[in-house]
Chain A
């Protein structure tokens, strides 16, 4: 589906769920207003005829970068855990997932 941007309203709660971001009621209201105005502004892109125009995802041509297949020292376990909010010395600890 390729909806016309100017007719859209964002379902903020749905998008916030996708973004894993809890929002309170005041934030949701503020975002609805701000994003409506922003989407109204970006709707000016509809004026352009973009048929046949290739998208640019990167400003320079990217080539696959190869390096020698040589092992380099990784972060030590202590370094990897040094910034962790919670760990048990062998793994990061999070609430039960399954």
Chain B
């Protein structure tokens, strides 16, 4: 049994002695070497440290010592998340060579659970993108069709799972960056309620929207990883103090009588008919499991993209001001006589085109004279989007719809038109604006045979309900068992 098996199966095999952490880690590293050259999901691995950790866990198991809930499982971490002693770049030239002096809280929790941090996963630079085409080493490829994008920005985290190189990964989601690549690669991904998972040590893009979340090949595995990373962190002022429920225990709860809201606004112009067909079939499946479909309305959905791109870029322009070539990261080698030239040239050399575009848009939206017209207006629209959801959740327990209006496009197809790319985030950004938990699970294929994702959105701290509904759906269908064709040299 190797890294392509589920985390749940692997934990049983590790516990019974059918495999060891060392054998599993060696197999994962071998699989990365065999297939990832064609995919580009892994930016770097730390073989020595992973193997040493694995051997230590095996020794502790032999001695009968207590082990954590992920003991011996290799886990991949999006390069947006700081790992002590392991280079962390956010896929950006400006952070190339940066070796964090500390672990993010989520990584500390992985290590405390005895997971093996295998390496860092590729992404769009600073998580700004929906295709993972703007990674440090060129485009990440979708294992279902190497000419197509894997989605983004957590494309590497989705591809690492779909290609069977490890059983669990961490992603981050600011406007859909966990759910959309999960949908595009035929895996599962969950964005927790804002504040459920600590952001300490996670490179900031848009602080009021960013969340870390679990990605896996099954809902049960999502629950396993969420259990480890969720919970209060005194080092993150936005961290929620609420107790963390037992997510695994509620997975098998029947969905009988669950009220599933279907928003008319999530099935409008621009939705690929094949995606709609797959999502409608998923609604039927949920009904067949005993759920009750309830029509709901989210009338401000069409304004969410505009509000999101003003708020996210405004926050990004402020967060990315820290990359100035002084304390860490890239510094221009050009001679600079003054500090402003040092900043401006360093940033010009270090940031890629999409990051520059968003810094400029965000700086503009916050600048004197335009603040009220753009940033403040967007924040008011955010209130309307939140109210839409609050009203809908008076009538239903979860909301269901497509994760993305379209399937994975061809590499390069949308990279010339930033706005066209932004518009594909229409169904994912509203939940970020409202801070709500949401997940994506595979629900079929589009007209090109590429995976399609079903999105479920819950009320604040509704992760357990979401996981339960997604698990019922997964068991009732065979979608989660589909794997992409083997990648051949």
On A, residues with C-beta under 8 Å from B are 1-5, 8, 10, 12, 15-16, 18-23, 27, 30-31, 34-35, 37-38, 41-42, 44-45, 48, 50, 53-60, 62, 64-65, 67, 75, 79-80, 82-86, 92, 94-97
Q: Tell whether, in the assembled complex, residue B372 and residue A2 are in contact, meaning their CB atoms are under 8 Å apart.
A: yes
Chain A residue nearest to B368 (CB atoms) is A1
Known contacts A3-B373, A15-B364, A56-B379, A84 near B306 by CB under 8 Å:
no
Q: Tell whether, in the assembled complex, residue B377 and residue A50 are in contact, meaning their CB atoms are under 8 Å apart.
A: yes
Q: Tell whether, in the assembled complex, residue B357 and residue A45 are in contact, meaning their CB atoms are under 8 Å apart.
A: no
Chain B residue nearest to A78 (CB atoms) is B101
Smallest Cβ distance from A8 to chain B, in angstroms? 7
Q: Tell whether, in the assembled complex, residue B360 and residue A56 are in contact, meaning their CB atoms are under 8 Å apart.
A: no
Residues on A with beta carbons closer than 8 Å to the beta carbon of B357: 31, 34-35
Apart from A27-B353, A59-B208, A95-B339, list 15 A-B contacts with CB within 8 A: A18-B363, A22-B345, A34-B357, A42-B374, A44-B303, A48-B381, A55-B376, A59-B194, A59-B435, A75-B102, A83-B327, A83-B329, A84-B327, A94-B339, A94-B342
Known contacts A1-B369, A48-B303, A55-B376, A37 near B419 by CB under 8 Å:
yes
Residues on A with beta carbons closer than 8 Å to the beta carbon of B321: 20
Cα A82 to Cα B101 in complex, Å, equals 8
Cα A35 to Cα B351 in complex, Å, equals 18
B347's partner among A21, A31, A45, A48 (CB-CB below 8 A) is A21
Chain B residue nearest to A5 (CB atoms) is B373
Q: Tell whether, in the assembled complex, residue B348 and residue A10 are in contact, meaning their CB atoms are under 8 Å apart.
A: no
Smallest Cβ distance from A28 to chain B, in angstroms? 10
Cα A59 to Cα B208 in complex, Å, equals 7
Chain B residue nearest to A20 (CB atoms) is B343
Chain A residue nearest to B355 (CB atoms) is A21
Cα A4 to Cα B383 in complex, Å, equals 21
19 contacts between A and B (CB under 8 A): A1-B369, A5-B377, A18-B367, A19-B360, A34-B419, A35-B361, A41-B306, A41-B419, A42-B306, A45-B303, A54-B383, A55-B380, A57-B379, A58-B435, A60-B194, A62-B238, A83-B101, A92-B326, A95-B338
Q: Tell whether, in the assembled complex, residue B328 and residue A84 are in contact, meaning their CB atoms are under 8 Å apart.
A: yes
Question: Which 5 A-B pairs have CB atoms at the shortest separation, nearest pair first?
Answer: A59-B435, A55-B379, A85-B331, A83-B328, A42-B306
Q: Tell whether, in the assembled complex, residue B317 and residue A83 are in contact, meaning their CB atoms are under 8 Å apart.
A: no
Total A-B contacts with CB atoms under 8 angstroms apart: 171
Secondary structure type dominating chain A contacts: loop
A45's partner among B356, B360, B378 (CB-CB below 8 A) is B378
B383's partner among A31, A38, A56 (CB-CB below 8 A) is A56
Q: Tell whether, in the assembled complex, residue B101 and residue A60 are in contact, meaning their CB atoms are under 8 Å apart.
A: no
Q: Tell whether, in the assembled complex, residue B433 and residue A54 are in contact, meaning their CB atoms are under 8 Å apart.
A: no
Chain A residue nearest to B209 (CB atoms) is A59
Cα A36 to Cα B250 in complex, Å, equals 49
Known contacts A79-B101, A86-B331, A53 near B344 by CB under 8 Å:
no
Residues on B with beta carbons closer than 8 Å to the beta carbon of A2: 372-373
Q: Tell whether, in the assembled complex, residue B356 and residue A23 are in contact, meaning their CB atoms are under 8 Å apart.
A: yes
Q: Tell whether, in the assembled complex, residue B360 and residue A31 are in contact, meaning their CB atoms are under 8 Å apart.
A: yes
Residues on B with beta carbons closer than 8 Å to the beta carbon of A60: 193-195, 238, 240, 435, 460
Residues on A with beta carbons closer than 8 Å to the beta carbon of B195: 59-60
Q: Is B267 part of the binding interface, using a Cβ–Cβ cutoff of 8 Å?
A: no
Cα A75 to Cα B99 in complex, Å, equals 14
Cα A83 to Cα B422 in complex, Å, equals 34
Chain A residue nearest to B418 (CB atoms) is A34
Known contacts A3-B370, A31-B357, A97 near B238 by CB under 8 Å:
no
Known contacts A21-B356, A31-B360, A83-B329, A57 near B208 by CB under 8 Å:
yes
Residues on B with beta carbons closer than 8 Å to the beta carbon of A10: 360, 364
Q: Tell whether, in the assembled complex, residue B348 and residue A45 are in contact, meaning their CB atoms are under 8 Å apart.
A: no
Residues on B with beta carbons closer than 8 Å to the beta carbon of A67: 234
Cα A26 to Cα B296 in complex, Å, equals 47
Residues on B with beta carbons closer than 8 Å to the beta carbon of A55: 376, 379-380, 382-383
